[in-house]
């Protein structure tokens, strides 16, 4: 199962709204087949492992990181394939929350007399598919907020200087995070200030996320790199109905997608997330400025926080922006707390990962 999990994990970021899944077939103490789901629409892990095993699949044990599917999706059901191949035992890490599966794959295997065990390394398997687990049930994207600040929470100095706050090791990790999300989101102020490319540029090849810019009044400069460099990554703008029509028409003429998210002075972020979900964007890395981060958190749209802190203090009063900026709560008891905390170090920087506990 560890091997199956490792194979699954290596495909993180390339399966779109699908989960990552690994499968290892073992017979008489030997591995006879292995497979991982690599791309949506392509083979499921079990099918690839069965293909490798051929005749040897008969009487084998399958270790699968996710309950074998029982539905006809883009591919036929894996549980049928395991039954037909004569696999005698199936060890599953976790059940599939997809309402089309949700236990029916396991039930089918048992009905056909296969010996099924569920729950081996279940926590690790679920953690790997946290985005899928949310999206498949809610159709809302899983949003990870990433910030990079000084110890006093600043994302720029009082003059606006921000290059660089964190170390190259931290920035390399951010590119891995970008690869692992389907979309990368910022606010238009970040585009105006930094003209970022918003791409995944690691040492290894990466899948490029869709670029998403919250831009209520469509203030994005037409020469911004998120608009001009469209070859590999499309850009989606989230706007309000209040944005000038001429502006919208000019952007759409260039092939940019503009989603109308409410008619208020600012984008309705919940509506924005719902629309992105409808477009099969199941995971988003939010790299906003403090206000966008604050608004997303306040509206409970953040599922996970990755907070990177460089061992620096820059100060700057109200002129130096902070990583998360919102009106806030009156009482400490009302603060948003983080669960399941993980602390890592990248070079000199500290990275805190946690899951918000909204009250």
Which parts of this chain interact with Zn ion (CB under 5 A)?
A: 44, 69, 78
Least gap, CB of 57 to ligand AOF (angstroms): 15
Touching ligand AOF, residues 63-92 (CB under 6 A)? 66, 68-69, 73-75, 78
In the list ligand AOF, Zn ion, none, the entry touching 45 (Cβ below 5 to 8 angstroms by class) is: ligand AOF
Q: Are 89 and 61 in contact (CB under 8 A)?
A: yes
Q: Is 46 one of the binding residues for ligand AOF (CB under 6 A)?
A: yes
Report the chain's terminal Cα–Cα distance, integer Å: 37
Cβ closer to Zn ion: 1 or 69?
69
Q: Which conformational region is residue 302 in: left (phi greater than 0), alpha (psi within -120 to 50 degrees), or beta?
A: beta
Q: Which two tokens stand for residue 42?
A: 């392509």
Q: Are 101 and 70 in contact (CB under 8 A)?
A: yes
Least gap, CB of 114 to ligand AOF (angstroms): 14
Q: Which stretch binds ligand AOF (CB under 6 A): 16-24, 231-239, 242-250, 330-338?
A: 16-24
Distance from C-alpha of 304 to C-alpha of 283, rounded to nearest angstrom: 11
**Active-site entry in 46, 229, 252, 298:** 46
Q: Is 260 one of the binding residues for ligand AOF (CB under 6 A)?
A: no
Q: What is the 3-state secondary structure (H, E, C) of 92-103?
A: EEECCCCCCCCC
Q: Is 96 one of the binding residues for ligand AOF (CB under 6 A)?
A: yes
Q: Tell me whether residue 46 is one of the annotated catalytic residues.
A: yes
Least gap, CB of 42 to Zn ion (angstroms): 11
- Number of residues near ligand AOF (by CB under 6 A): 19
Q: How far is CA 266 from the centre of its chain?
A: 25
State residue 285 phi and psi, 5-degree precision.
-100, 115
Distance from C-alpha of 95 to C-alpha of 299, rounded to nearest angstrom: 30
Q: Which stretches of the chain bind ligand AOF, using CB under 6 A?
A: 18-19, 21, 37, 40, 44-46, 66, 68-69, 73-75, 78, 96, 98, 101, 136
């Amino acid at each position: 199962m560890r091997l199956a999990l490792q194979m699954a994990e290596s495909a993180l970021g390339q399966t779109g709204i699908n989960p990552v899944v690994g499968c290892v077939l073992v017979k008489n103490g030997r591995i006879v087949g292995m497979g991982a789901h690599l791309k949506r629409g392509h083979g499921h892990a079990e099918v690839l492992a069965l293909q490798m095993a051929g005749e040897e699949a008969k009487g084998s044990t399958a270790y699968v990181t996710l309950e074998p599917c029982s539905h006809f999706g883009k591919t036929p059901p894996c549980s049928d394939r395991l039954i037909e191949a004569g696999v005698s035992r199936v060890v599953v890490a976790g059940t599939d929350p997809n309402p089309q599966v949700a236990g029916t794959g396991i039930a089918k295997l048992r009905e056909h007399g296969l010996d099924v065990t569920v729950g081996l390394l279940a926590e690790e398997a679920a953690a790997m598919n946290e985005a899928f687990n949310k999206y498949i049930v809610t159709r809302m994207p899983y949003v990870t907020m990433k910030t990079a600040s000084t110890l006093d929470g600043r994302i720029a100095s009082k003059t606006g200087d921000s290059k660089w706050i964190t170390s190259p090791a931290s920035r390399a990790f951010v590119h891995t995070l970008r690869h692992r999300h389907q979309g990368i989101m910022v606010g238009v102020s970040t585009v105006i200030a930094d003209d970022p490319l918003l791409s995944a540029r690691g040492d290894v090849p990466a899948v490029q996320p869709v670029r998403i810019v919250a831009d209520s009044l469509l203030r994005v400069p037409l020469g911004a790199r998120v608009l001009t460099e469209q070859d590999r990554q499309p850009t989606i703008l989230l706007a309000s109905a209040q944005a000038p029509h001429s502006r919208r028409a000019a952007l759409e003429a260039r092939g940019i997608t503009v989603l109308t998210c409410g008619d208020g002075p600012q984008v309705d972020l919940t509506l924005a997330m719902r629309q992105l979900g409808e477009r099969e964007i199941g995971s988003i890395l939010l790299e906003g400025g403090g206000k966008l981060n604050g608004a997303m958190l306040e509206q409970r749209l953040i599922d996970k926080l990755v907070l990177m802190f460089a061992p620096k203090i820059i100060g700057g009063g109200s002129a130096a922006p902070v990583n998360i900026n919102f009106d806030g709560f009156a009482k400490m008891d009302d603060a948003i707390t983080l669960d399941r905390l993980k602390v890592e170090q990248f070079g000199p920087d500290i990275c805190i990962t946690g899951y918000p506990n909204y009250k």
